[in-house]
Amino acid sequence: MSRKLVSFDWAMKKILRQKANFVILEGFLTELLKFDVKIEEVLESEANQENEDDKFNRVDLLAKNEKGQLILIEVQYSSEIDYFQRMLYGSSKLITEYISKGDSGYKNIKKVYSVNIVYFALGQGEDYVYYGKTEFRGLYKKDDILRPSKRQQEDFGIDTISDIYPEYYILRVNQFNDIAKNNLDEWIYFLKNEEIKSDFKAKGLNEAKETLDVMKLDEKSRAIYKRKEENRMYKNSLLYTAKLKGIEEGEKKGERKKAIEIAKKSLKQNLDIETISLITGLTIEEIKKI
């Protein structure tokens, strides 16, 4: 049996920033990144706005793990055509903000993981989870990947050059088919449906099931959350209506263009205007102007 839980973006704003609840974030990140994540602290991030009707319709959370690496988690509902560029900007901004001041070199640049949970059709692709990292491959020897020297490995604590550069994860939640084949899929099921099935075993989900229960919110918080969900549904309704109107207008323009083409051909064949009007649906005045 599943239980209704608060949405992940709401949890990021109101619940998961508390140290007692880090175990939920740690579970999600461990299943996604495929290594054990221990969060040391949650840092301030640019989109931590208190207004539940956030005009950007997004929220983010910046965490630092025990290795000093930065993990930026962002949830985005509204379609944004330049979202890929903003992912790059976000990770680059973190690198420049958190580099040690006054350091003689670039040794202490922070490793950044950019986790993007999106609820719109970002790009083109058939999968619902994508991963990207930086590698340097030989131009002439395609299988040759440039590696750090032994000295670099020792000094910087890395195995590959990609260990230095940002890594990106994109979860296209709406593309998920609700069939959980593994632990990560169980988390994505929760992100999409705000429910956790009783047989789910992924790390952090058991704690999420208890902590994020809507019914366990106090009366004020529950009222705010309910209003926020209603606002989201209203926005989605407006977007859907606008989309349908756009399709409808496009179809009308297409039909009119087709009618004009038929009218032009009919005039060349010396059909009378009244007949052409009946065939195309255009008025006699419109046909006379062609």
Q: Are 101 and 113 in contact (CB under 8 A)?
A: no
The DSSP bridge partners found for residue 39 are 65
Residue 211 resides in a domain:
yes
Q: Is 201 exposed, middle or buried (0-12, 13-18, 19+ CB in 10 A)?
A: exposed
CB burial class (10 A; 0-12, 13-18, 19+) of residue 95?
middle
Residue type for position 15: I
**Of 184, 216, 248, which closes a domain?**
216
d(CA 105, CA 159): 20
Which of these ranges, 21-25, 175-179, 201-205, 270-274, has the smallest mean pLDDT? 270-274
Looking at the fold, whether 84 and 207 belong to one and the same domain comes out as: yes
Strands 112-118 and 70-76, by their bridges, are parallel
166 pLDDT higher than 60: yes
Confidence label for 242 from pLDDT (cuts 50, 70 and 90): low
Lowest average pLDDT, out of 52-56, 194-198, 234-238, 263-267, goes to 52-56
Domain membership flag for residue 10: yes
Q: Are residues 23 and 116 in the same domain?
A: yes
| Count of other CB atoms within 10 angstroms of residue 96 | 8
Are 46 and 254 a contacting pair, CB within 8 Å? no
Parent domain of 140: 3-216
106 phi/psi in degrees, rounded to 5: -110, 15
The answer to whether residues 236 and 278 belong to one domain is yes
Structure tokens at 73: 């988690």
- 207 in the same domain as 143: yes
pLDDT of residue 189: 96
Whether residues 73 and 28 fall in one domain: yes
Q: Is 221 a domain residue?
A: no
Residues 239, 210 share a domain = no
Residue 16: inside a domain, yes or no?
Answer: yes
Residues 39-68: tens digit of each pLDDT: 998 886 554 444 444 444 567 899 999 988
pLDDT grade, residue 234 (50/70/90)?
Answer: low
Are 104 and 239 members of one domain? no
Domain assignment present for 157:
yes
What six digits make up the tokens of 131?
């991963």
Which two three-digit tokens encode residue 100? 């040690």
Helical ranges in the chain per DSSP H: 8-14, 22-33, 83-98, 150-156, 183-193, 205-211, 219-268, 273-280, 284-289
Of 189, 216, 243, which closes a domain?
216
**Are 236 and 207 in the same domain?**
no
Phi and psi angles of residue 202, each rounded to the nearest 5 degrees, phi first? -60, 150
Q: Looking at residue 54, what is its pLDDT?
A: 44
State how far the Cα of 150 lies from the Cα of 129, in Å rounded to an integer. 33
Question: What is the pLDDT at residue 135?
Answer: 95
Domain end, chosen from 216, 245, 274, is at 216
Q: Does one domain contain both 48 and 180? A: yes
Location of structure tokens 């009218």: 263
209 lies in some domain: yes
pLDDT in tens, 110-138: 999 999 999 988 999 999 999 999 999 99
104 & 75 share domain? yes
Nearest 5 degrees, angle CA 279-CA 284-CA 288? 110
Count of domains for the chain:
2
190 within domain boundaries: yes
Q: Are residues 166 and 252 in the same domain?
A: no
140 and 46 together in one domain: yes
Which pLDDT band, with edges at 50, 70 and 90, does 272 fall under?
A: confident
Query: What is the sign of the dihedral through the CA atoms of 208, 209, 215 and 216?
Result: negative
* In a domain? residue 196: yes
**Strands of 58-65's sheet in order across:** 39-43, 58-65, 70-76, 112-118, 167-172, 129-132
The pLDDT > 70 percentage for the chain reads 78
